Amino acid sequence: MNLTYDLWMETHELYQRIVDHYGVPMTWDVEPDLVLYYDPEDGMYGWHEYGEIGVNFAACEGWADVIGTLLHEHTHHLQDPERDDEDSYEEEAESIALRDLHIFLTWPEVA
């Protein structure tokens, strides 16, 4: 997907709905900043680190990919940062993204 100004704005509004729905991380007590970028060489859909979530629009083919990435990465912000089981950490984030994708796909602005 190309990253246009309108898409940038809609994605920020969508992410705010996700934060409103799930809340901010209790362990970090900060709402992550959203970093949107287009880098075809990156190859990743998104990433997370303390206080930031990134979405690479070059890897996303449509809204379902964008929403799924936002849900997946925001879930990581809600997980215990001291957790040491990387596999279940990723499985849980992916499971929640797949489970709840329909909630945000039906949002009128992205339908």
d(CA 6, CA 11): 8
Q: Is 70 exceeded by the pLDDT of residue 68?
A: yes
111 domain-assigned: no
Range of the domain at 84: 5-105
Q: How confident is the model at residue 27 (pLDDT cuts 50, 70, 90)?
A: low
pLDDT of 70-99, one tens digit each? Answer: 999 999 888 877 777 777 888 999 999 999
Question: So what's the pLDDT on residue 23?
Answer: 86
31 part of a folded domain: yes
Q: Residue 110: inside a domain, yes or no?
A: no
Residue 59 lies in a domain: yes
> What is the reported pLDDT for 82?
77
The residue with greater pLDDT, 50 or 99, is 99
In a domain, 43, yes or no: yes
What confidence score (pLDDT) does residue 28 get?
Answer: 66
5-22 helix and 63-78 helix, angle to the nearest 10 degrees: 40
* Average pLDDT of every residue of the chain: 87
* Mean pLDDT in residue range 50-61: 92
* Residues 12, 110 contacting (CB under 8 angstroms): no
**Total domain count for the chain?**
1
Q: What is the pLDDT of residue 106?
A: 74
The 10 Å CB-count burial string (b at 16+, else e) for 44-74 is ebbebeeeebbbbbbbbeebebbbbbbbbbb
